Amino acid sequence: MKRVFQKLRQHLTAKAEVKLATYLSYGTAGHLYLLGRALDDDKLKMFEDQSFFYTLKNTYKQFDSDEIAGAEVVLRPPNHTGITTETNAEGYFLFDRSTSMNLKQFADEEGWVPLNVSFVREMKNKTITHDNDFKAEMLIPPLTARFGIISDIDDTILHTGVTSFLKWRVLHNSLFRNAHERISLKGSPEFYRDLHKGRSGKDQNPVFYLSNSPWNLYDYLKLFLEINDFPKGPILLRDFRTPFDKTLKPEKPHKQKEIINILKTYPRLKFILIGDSGEHDPAIYTDIAAQFSDRILAIYLHSVKHRRKMERVRSVVENFKTVPVLLVKTSKEAEEHARAQGFI
């Protein structure tokens, strides 16, 4: 009994381990942008042969995140003393500012700039993991890039089931299936790698990934992209909203806002938009193309098996003549068009 009380006392008095989660971001030579979050370190591990119950445990950890509000965080670009900010009520921190530094000089051949973030000071009853040194990366597209690719994730490159009744397949696939078990849509990794390489094979065209999934699933989706050998790129998710969330909803849909931000960040680049016909991608993408007709090279929409939605999408696509819009059943169809247009 004495040992039981000793272990209980140790558990109750143990300091919580905390970390800074960082998300692959994008910026320019003169503008620094990095989003991240201060959280309790849940020691999340995802491996190929994990059991169903271990998968449930991981899911619980991802959504039962214990955020740290009001923590002071410092970002250190290469050869820089540091920039500080403070986490908000949900633990997020954001560095979004212009700089006199030429950040591009620190980028690797694909445009990735290494960054470091740290907690400014120790916190009461908290133990900072990883020696208070957390890695981050920001993409600056190289001058060799001829265009960019902006792609949806759900049912575009990852079988999700957004058109299923009450979205039960989305819940099942996202919450109860290991990332190693998820299947990419046939041919999509190869097609994206070809687009990334471009016609010369060395273009290093940047790829941006969009999803309406919450940031809680960032590690899960990043692992899926790595496992399936998709090109490395910023992953842009959204904040998790509950039915009881009383904060104001964004004026524009998440995807639309992110695409416009990317277009404005890189005014010299044109883009290919890739999505699916199951949700709002056709309307959002054609609206973007109408606004930025000289910036969108093509729109590829993966056809989903939903008769009513497909009828509505076809009417949108057939009446839109501003830029090429293709409804494709396989990546092969999109690849043939891209090759004919000289994109690859």
**Nearest CA to 284 among 275, 271, 295, 272?**
275
The answer to whether residues 258 and 235 touch, using CB atoms and an 8 Å cutoff, is no
Interval 299-324: pLDDT, tens: 999 876 655 656 677 777 777 889 99
**Nearest CA to 287 among 265, 315, 316, 267?**
316
Query: What parts of the chain have a pLDDT lower than 70?
Result: 1-15, 42-65, 159-185, 240-252, 279, 304-311
**Nearest CA to 134 among 68, 61, 13, 38?**
38
pTM higher than the cut 0.85: no
Coil, helix or strand at residue 106: helix
Interval 158-185: pLDDT, tens: 766 444 443 434 444 444 444 334 345 6
